Amino acid sequence: MNFPLTAAAIALMALMPASHAATLQESGDPLGSARWADMQKTFLGGQPVLFDPRVKVTAPSIAEDPLQVPVTVDASGLPKVQEVIVFADFNPIVEVLRFYPEGARSSLGFRVKLQQSTPVRAAVRTADGIWHIGGTWVNTVGGGCTAPSAASGSPAWQSRLNEITGRQWSEGPNAGRLRLRIVHPMDTGLIAGTPAFHIEEIQFSEPDGRPLMRVKIAEPVAENPVFTLQRDSGGGAIAVEGRDNNGNRFKAEIAP
């Protein structure tokens, strides 16, 4: 499907090197997905769209474990990122998460459940209202969204629900990096007799309260989710606060 170039998109292309501008086209889906038109309508609402190589989505081309597929979205090459939506075209629950890089870099690592082989995409909205699209195909044996969580077979998981562990790097090449793990079953609700039970939102903040990143999370994020984000440099403890869809709240501080 073709979409007309907007004045803003044309101006953006004019400012870029020819090698980059050639790839910033609002033409057919470069991943060749039969569901791209549906994705564009559902998530982007007819807004200006550019397939942009500066939106980097990294994932294994073949995922052996459909319950834990590592994905990294990096849009730090774009200016003034307002919102990032991550979705998988052929998942039964298409939306994976959204994040808002308020003070951190516009980059996030996480793991996702995939039901079948699918494009995994990131749509990045910049301050000019343009959506920049990147993505990659992930091939998998499938079944990730309809398999029971490991927690459902363990009597101990309730005592550890929303337990947080993490690490922050304060120096060296990884200075400013934060990795966080939260104990949670992340049930999709697609298994008979098991209702949806998942983390809904996490807020990361600087020690003085300035927001770093807000993440809105949907059911396809993997069990016991792990998130990796990056601020520009090391600093004090990062505050983490969030809740799940049953109203359970959690908070922690991750020291350098």
**pLDDT exceeds cutoff 70 at 4:** no
**pLDDT exceeds cutoff 60 at 240:** yes
Identity (one letter) of the amino acid at 26? E
pLDDT at 137: 97
At the fourth CATH level, the homologous superfamily of domain 7-254 is SoxY domain (2.60.40.2470)
- The share of the chain scoring above pLDDT 70, in percent, equals 88
Quick: pLDDT tens for 74-113. 999 999 999 999 999 999 999 999 999 999 999 999 999 9
pTM of the model: 0.89
Quick: pLDDT tens for 208-239. 899 999 999 999 999 999 999 998 866 789 99
Quick: pLDDT tens for 130-143. 999 999 999 998 88
- The share of the chain scoring above pLDDT 90, in percent, equals 72
**pLDDT exceeds cutoff 80 at 36:** yes
Quick: pLDDT tens for 148-183. 887 766 777 788 999 999 999 988 888 889 999 999
**pLDDT exceeds cutoff 70 at 7:** no
